Amino acid sequence: MDFHLEFVQLYLHSPDPEMVIPAFIAFTFRLLAAAHLLTFITSYVTVSQGAQEIFKLLPHTFVDAEKLPELSAGKSLPPHHQSTRRAFQLYGCVVTSKDMVAPKDPSRCFDKADYYAHPEHYRPVFHERIAPYASAIVNCMYWERRFPRLLSIDQLQQLMKNGCPLVGISDITCDIGGSIEFVNKSTSIERPFFRYDTSTNLYHDDMEGDGVICLAVDILPTEFSREASQHFGDILSRFVTSLASAKGLLELPSHLRRACIAYTGKLTPLYEYIPRMRKTMIELPPTPANSLPDK
Ligand SMILES: *[C@@H]1O[C@H](CO)[C@@H](O)[C@H](O)[C@H]1NC(C)=O
């Protein structure tokens, strides 16, 4: 049996595992239909865990980003090697910022704190190190304009021209013109996907032709399932008493304290990044759209 290797990636920075699951299942099965085998990549936050939960129901192996080229090359292993592997196998890979950017100065090492402070000292590498091997990307990364994009239109067009196996992107973040540049609109729950044909630069509402399909539902939390609602309700009810009796923020159990965005008219420390993010949105000019090659 031919050994396919495909990748789904998850980049996660979002509040609830539950909200991603219905969309992820739909997306996963759509991809399975298209790709037979799939692999996925995720970062470490909660939505990621929710999506991974579903992924883990399938025969799977998690691999490190460094192993992707090797795995991909394994496609051409002679048949007797393949017979030792499961015939149907998906690969998942957790991708974090160290796999998305590299210091411009090659003598330096990636340092997350430095990257957040000086994104201009880093260049994007996701399109070189990860995307060429990916069959699907689930994007939940936190992004601001000061950071390089995960995937620009130019990079995507180039990748697809070079035979990248990418089938689709589930853009949970749904930042329009953000980390995934070609996502220029959100989609509805009724029609969750659009198709972007990289060779013609045209957007379509169906999923049946060339290009990359994309899930860009920005109101996924409204797909709140009944089970999830019950589950959250059960958990929350344990906190109601302390919530009702606490006289100040510090008296709240830590789960609730961390969920408190504003208190006495001020943002709480965890959420002080919001005005900073807004400020950069206003001060930085929009990252120019990549010029498109002549057709
Ligand atoms: C997205 O981009 C395509 C191609 O440039 C354009 O035809 C379409 O109108 C854009 N959609 C939105 C909502 O801007």
* pLDDT digit string, tens, across residues 233-244: 898 888 888 888
Assess whether pLDDT exceeds 50 at residue 291: no
Structure-token pair, residue 141: 């990364």
Q: Is the CB of 292 under 6 A from ligand 1?
A: no
**Confidence label for 63 from pLDDT (cuts 50, 70 and 90):** confident
Query: What integer pLDDT is reported at residue 88 of this predicted model?
Result: 65
Give the integer Cα–Cα distance in Å for 22 and 59. 19
Let me know the angle formed at the C-alpha of 95 by 189 and 76, rounded to the nearest 5 degrees.
Answer: 100
Q: What is the DSSP string of 177-223?
A: TSSBTT--S-B-SSS-EEEEETTTTEEES-SSSSSEEEE-BTTGGGG
Q: What angle do CA 144, 93, 3 make, to 5 degrees?
A: 135
pLDDT tens, position by position, 19-61:
445 555 556 555 554 443 344 444 435 666 666 777 777 777 8
Q: pLDDT tens for residues 74-121?
A: 754 444 444 445 556 678 888 888 899 999 999 999 999 999 899 999
Q: Which of 203, 212, 291 to mutate to test the pocket of ligand 1 (most atoms within 8 A of CB)?
A: 203
66 class by beta-carbon count within 10 Å (0-12 exposed, 13-18 middle, 19+ buried): exposed
Q: Which of 174, 175, 176, 184 to mutate to test the pocket of ligand 1 (most atoms within 8 A of CB)?
A: 184
Q: Exposure of 211 by Cβ count < 10 A (0-12 exposed, 13-18 middle, 19+ buried)?
A: buried
Domains of the chain: 3-223 (3.40.50), 226-280 (no CATH)
- Structure confidence by residue, pLDDT tens digits, 260-283: 889 999 999 989 988 887 887 777
**DSSP element (H, E) containing 256:** helix 254-259
The whole-number pLDDT of residue 171 equals: 86
Mean pLDDT of the chain: 77
pLDDT at 289 over 60: no
Euclidean distance between CA atoms 256 and 249, whole angstroms: 9
What element of type H or E holds 127?
helix 126-129
pTM of the model: 0.72
8-state DSSP, 175: -
Evaluate: CB of 56 within 6 angstroms of ligand 1: no
Nearest to 184 by CA among 201, 200, 167: 201
pLDDT at 159: 96
Q: 202 or 67, which is more confident? A: 202
Read off the pLDDT of residues 78-88 as tens digits, 9 standing for 90 and up: 444 444 455 56
Tens digit of each residue's pLDDT (9 = 90 or more) over 155-213:
999 999 999 888 888 888 888 998 999 999 999 888 889 999 999 999 999 888 899 99
Residue 197 near residue 204 (C-beta atoms within 8 A): yes
Residues 280 and 146: beta-carbon distance below 8 Å: yes
In ligand 1, the atom with minimum distance to the C-alpha of 184 is 1
Q: How far apart are CA 261 and CA 267, in angstroms?
A: 6
The answer, yes or no, to whether any atom of ligand 1 lies below 6 A from the CB of 203, is yes
